[in-house]
């Protein structure tokens, strides 16, 4: 991307280039021709949610799998189909979609559901859980309707405020006239660990797993999106296969595969090419990786940034856990901040590994002449300098 910035571009020259046909279609949650693959998961969802069309509630259907595996898109498709079928059968049906990364407490979730029902406007601040729950029950107590609540990224709410919302929703139909059904979506495959046994016995007994997309599935998804998004003959079969191979080996994330394809398109525009070649795939991939690392670091908490800054500043290739904690404490002293415990920092290191910011393994460290947990930050020097400056500016 840096190389392209040295070439003079104008809006006219960019728009003249015949690369994209309709770029928006590339990232549509639900393509007009429907989703490619996920037939097995769709069949399971249809079977589980069919009772709604019989005026019967469905209790906490759990969908989980890694990001970019089609969970939200499939639920969106199913909700559309449920809406159409309910109209044909003259069945009262309403839906509320809640993203729990933005609504992390039981109170804000219930208020957001009430707002989406559309009868009146409810304030997001100043309400207690008891008041929100009372209003929720009041609004649904005398309604002969079917309400489907979708809690997307529910792991955020479970980590922030526990599983009371799930337990409450699993029992809500005992106290109201309406039929309330729930679908739970999580990107965290360990989400069950956040649910207490008492809640697990009544909520989330039906689990639908979304495995990462395979090479063949990613190839088919990319082919389908290319048809409407790019001009003819711009994206070759070899480019599609290369991107599918890269992302299948990394974790089967369709969203990232589409982002990589889009990055190739933007590179082609910048270099004034009318086709996307294989050489652009590697260049786009490198650029995206740098952007992803910096974007991830920007979202870290204050102490996570202090820990990351500590590791980025070390000259050694392999770091050792105890040594990292000692250096982290020194960084905290310089910043006039009280350090967190060793246990908390260990948790951060595990989180960093999951985010792709570092690699750690138990190995023999020559300097210490013993086996220890080796930590390695594999970020190129240019990105490392940018990350250090970004963290320092934000502290």
How much is the average pLDDT of 196-218? 87
Give 318-366 pLDDT, tens digit per residue.
787 778 899 999 899 888 889 999 999 988 988 888 888 888 765 544 5
Give me the residue label for tokens 């590697």.
282
Q: How far apart are CA 5 and CA 349, in angstroms?
A: 35
Quote the percentage of the chain above a pLDDT of 90.
Answer: 46
pLDDT at 204: 66
- Domains with residue ranges and CATH for the chain: 2-28+213-296 (1.10.8.60), 39-210 (3.40.50.300), 300-394 (1.10.10.10)
Quote the percentage of the chain above a pLDDT of 70.
Answer: 94
How much is the average pLDDT of 16-22? 82
Question: pLDDT higher for 322 or 388?
Answer: 388
Question: Among residues 127, 111, 43, 27, which one has the least CA distance to residue 77?
Answer: 43
Question: pLDDT higher for 67 or 85?
Answer: 85
Select the highest-mean-pLDDT range: 2-16, 225-239, 345-359.
225-239
Question: pLDDT higher for 124 or 207?
Answer: 207
How much is the average pLDDT of 124-150? 89
pLDDT at 171: 87
Question: pLDDT higher for 313 or 149?
Answer: 149
Question: pLDDT higher for 142 or 243?
Answer: 243
Select the highest-mean-pLDDT range: 129-133, 240-244, 268-272, 299-303.
240-244
Give 44-71 pLDDT, tens digit per residue.
999 999 999 999 999 889 999 998 999 9
Give me the helix-helix angle, 254-270 and 215-229, nearest 10°.
40
Residue 370 has pLDDT above 70, yes or no: no
Question: Among residues 351, 369, 368, which one has the least CA distance to residue 360?
Answer: 351
Residue 89 has pLDDT above 80, yes or no: yes
pLDDT at 362: 54
Residue 3 has pLDDT above 70, yes or no: no
Find how far residue 176's CA is from the centre of its chain: 33
Find how far residue 212's CA is from the centre of its chain: 13
Q: How far apart are CA 350 and CA 333, in angstroms?
A: 24
Residue 1 has pLDDT above 60, yes or no: no
DSSP one-letter string for 78-130: HHHHHHHHHHHTT--EEEEEEETTT--SHHHHHHHHHHHHTSS---SSS--HH
Q: pTM of the full predicted structure?
A: 0.74
Residue 2 has pLDDT above 50, yes or no: no
pLDDT at 45: 96
Per-chain mean pLDDT for the chain: 87
How much is the average pLDDT of 211-226? 96
Question: Among residues 309, 325, 284, which one has the least CA distance to residue 379?
Answer: 309
CB 346 within 8 A of CB 282: no
Q: How far apart are CA 37 and CA 360, in angstroms?
A: 35
Residue 10 has pLDDT above 80, yes or no: no
């Amino acid at each position: 991307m840096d190389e392209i910035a040295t070439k003079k571009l104008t809006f006219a020259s960019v728009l003249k280039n015949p690369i994209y046909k309709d770029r928006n279609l590339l990232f549509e949650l639900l393509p007009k021709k429907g989703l490619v693959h996920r037939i097995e998961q769709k069949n399971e969802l249809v079977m589980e949610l069919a009772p709604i069309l019989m005026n019967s509630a469905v209790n906490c259907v759990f969908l989980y799998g890694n990001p970019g595996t089609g969970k939200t898109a499939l639920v969106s498709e199913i909700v559309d189909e449920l809406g159409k079928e309910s109209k044909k059968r003259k069945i009262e049906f309403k839906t509320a979609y809640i993203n729990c990364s933005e609504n992390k407490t039981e109170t804000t979730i219930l208020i957001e559901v009430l707002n989406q029902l559309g009868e009146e406007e409810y304030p997001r601040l100043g309400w207690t859980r008891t008041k929100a729950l009372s209003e929720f029950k009041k609004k649904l107590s005398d309604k002969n309707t079917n309400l489907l609540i979708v809690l997307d990224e529910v792991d955020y709410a479970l980590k922030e405020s526990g599983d009371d919302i799930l337990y409450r929703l699993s029992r809500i139909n005992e106290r109201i006239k309406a039929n309330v059904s729930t679908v739970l979506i999580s990107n965290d495959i360990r989400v069950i660990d956040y649910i207490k046994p008492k809640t697990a016995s009544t909520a989330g007994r039906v689990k639908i797993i979304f495995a990462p997309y395979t090479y063949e599935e990613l190839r088919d998804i990319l082919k389908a999106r290319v048809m409407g998004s790019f001009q003819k003959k711009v994206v070759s079969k070899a480019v599609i296969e290369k991107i599918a191979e890269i992302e299948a080996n990394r974790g089967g994330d369709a969203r990232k595969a589409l982002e990589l394809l889009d990055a190739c398109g933007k590179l082609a525009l910048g270099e004034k090419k009318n086709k996307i070649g294989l050489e652009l795939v590697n260049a786009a991939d490198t650029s995206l990786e740098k952007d992803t690392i910096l974007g991830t670091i920007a979202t870290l908490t204050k102490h996570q940034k202090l820990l990351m800054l500590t590791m980025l500043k070390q000259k050694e290739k392999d770091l050792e856990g105890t040594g990292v904690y000692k250096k982290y404490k020194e960084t905290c002293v310089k910043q006039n901040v009280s350090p967190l415990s060793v246990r908390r920092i260990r948790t951060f290191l595990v989180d960093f590994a999951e985010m792709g910011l570092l690699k750690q393994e138990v190995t023999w460290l020559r300097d210490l002449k013993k086996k220890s947990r080796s930590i390695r930050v594999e970020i190129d020097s240019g990105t490392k300098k940018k990350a250090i400056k970004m963290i320092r500016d934000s502290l």
